[in-house]
């Protein structure tokens, strides 16, 4: 689809607004809070609509990732709802499993993209630490640097990855 065929924000809003509201209402018992959350979701979508790319993910995936993040933020920010259970986010329903799988795929792709922005030594340390389960001493020996340097590089790399995710309004 070229840019002249790209749907407008209004088209997506009309197509998904009721679905987003229903999705939120199933997870937030307070109707007023659910309405506010729905508005927050659409506000976030509007602000970042220019970054939406149908080649990376469908609009449904994109909007439901934003919606789930808003719901999680709602429960995190409203301490009176501390008893919010995992079932609000991880349901056994077929549709929810698809959305969850798409969300995890999007997180993986985002992590891969963010990793490309890291210096090679930081990428290597992240890979060995989290994907090969190696400790700082083992990584240091292989890279020919001190274990202290490994920890410094790791800390900086994680900070950069955290910033990348926050800058792109992605919460995990």
Alpha carbons 87 and 101: distance in angstroms, whole number: 16
Q: Of 3.40.50.300, 1.20.1090.10, 1.10.10.10, 3.30.565.10, which CATH number belongs to 117-172?
A: 1.10.10.10
pLDDT of residue 169 exceeding 50: yes
160 has pLDDT over 90? yes
CATH 1.10.1740.10 in the chain, residues? 1-95
pLDDT at 135 over 50: yes
Residue 43: name the closest of 23, 69, 22 by CA.
69
pLDDT tens digits, one per residue of 90-99: 444 545 566 6
pLDDT at 146: 96
Q: What is the CATH number of domain 1-95?
A: 1.10.1740.10
Given this model, what pLDDT does residue 77 score? Answer: 81
State residue 171's pLDDT score: 61
| Confidence at residue 137, expressed as pLDDT on a 0 to 100 scale | 95
Asked if the model's pLDDT at residue 28 lies above 70, the reply is yes
State the average pLDDT over residues 69-98: 63
Transcribe 74-136 into DSSP letters. Answer: HHHH-GGGTT--GGGT---SHHHHHHHHHHHHHHHHHHHHHHHTS-HHHHHHHIIIIIS---H
């Amino acid at each position: 689809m070229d840019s002249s065929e790209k749907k407008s924000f209004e088209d997506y809003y009309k197509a998904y607004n009721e679905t987003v509201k229903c999705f939120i209402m199933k997870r937030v018992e307070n109707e007023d809070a659910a309405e506010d959350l729905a508005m927050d979701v659409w506000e976030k979508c509007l602000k970042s609509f220019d970054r939406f790319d149908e080649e990376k993910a469908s609009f449904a995936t994109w909007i439901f990732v934003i919606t789930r993040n808003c719901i999680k933020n709602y429960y995190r920010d409203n301490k009176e709802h501390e008893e919010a259970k995992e079932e609000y986010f991880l349901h056994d329903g077929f549709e929810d499993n698809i959305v969850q799988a798409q969300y995890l795929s999007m997180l993986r792709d985002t992590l891969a993209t963010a990793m490309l922005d890291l210096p090679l030594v930081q990428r290597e340390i992240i890979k060995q630490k989290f994907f090969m389960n190696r400790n700082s001493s083992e990584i240091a020996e292989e890279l020919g640097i001190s274990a202290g340097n490994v920890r410094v590089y790791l800390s900086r790399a994680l900070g950069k990855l955290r910033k990348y995710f926050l800058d792109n309004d992605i919460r995990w």
